[in-house]
């Protein structure tokens, strides 16, 4: 507390960091839900594609044509990964990790919500 009253910039930085991470949370939740839904659809479609006895008897592309649900969900999942969904679902933790790296230089850290953690000063002998 005493450090915050002495350094209002530190408190402002913490406030802005927590605000930014909190602002990312709704979008992150939506991206996670989209990834879960598309992954479950792809897994369900893959299961139906694999247990179909016709899959072994026809060519690969014909079997994909016979299972449009799997084909579309698989293409969607691949497209989402190319669009960077794997980064979007963990964006707040990426920001927090980068801040921890920078704050380590100043003997500080932060939690996943952006709250600053002040570490004790190292004793020089």
Residue-range domain boundaries for the chain = 10-118
Q: pTM for this one?
A: 0.76
- What interhelical angle do 68-82 and 8-51 show, nearest 10? 150
Average pLDDT over residues 31-60: 94
Q: Each residue of 60-109: pLDDT tens digit?
A: 999 999 999 999 999 999 999 999 999 999 999 999 999 999 999 888 89
The dihedral formed by the CA atoms of 53, 58, 59 and 65, expressed in degrees to the nearest 10: -80
- ∠ CA 23-29-32, nearest 5°, is 140
More confident residue, 51 or 119: 51
């Amino acid at each position: 507390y005493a450090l915050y009253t002495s350094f209002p910039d530190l408190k402002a930085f913490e406030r802005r960091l927590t605000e930014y991470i909190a602002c990312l949370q709704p979008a992150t939740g939506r991206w996670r839900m989209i990834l879960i839904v598309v992954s479950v659809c792809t897994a369900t479609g893959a299961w139906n594609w694999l247990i179909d006895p016709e899959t072994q008897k026809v060519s690969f592309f014909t079997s994909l044509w016979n299972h449009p649900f799997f084909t579309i969900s698989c293409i969607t999942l691949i497209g989402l990964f190319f669009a960077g969904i794997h980064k979007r679902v963990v964006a707040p933790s990426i920001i927090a990790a980068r801040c921890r790296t920078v704050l380590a230089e100043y003997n500080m850290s932060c939690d996943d919500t952006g709250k600053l953690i002040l570490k004790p000063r190292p004793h020089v002998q």
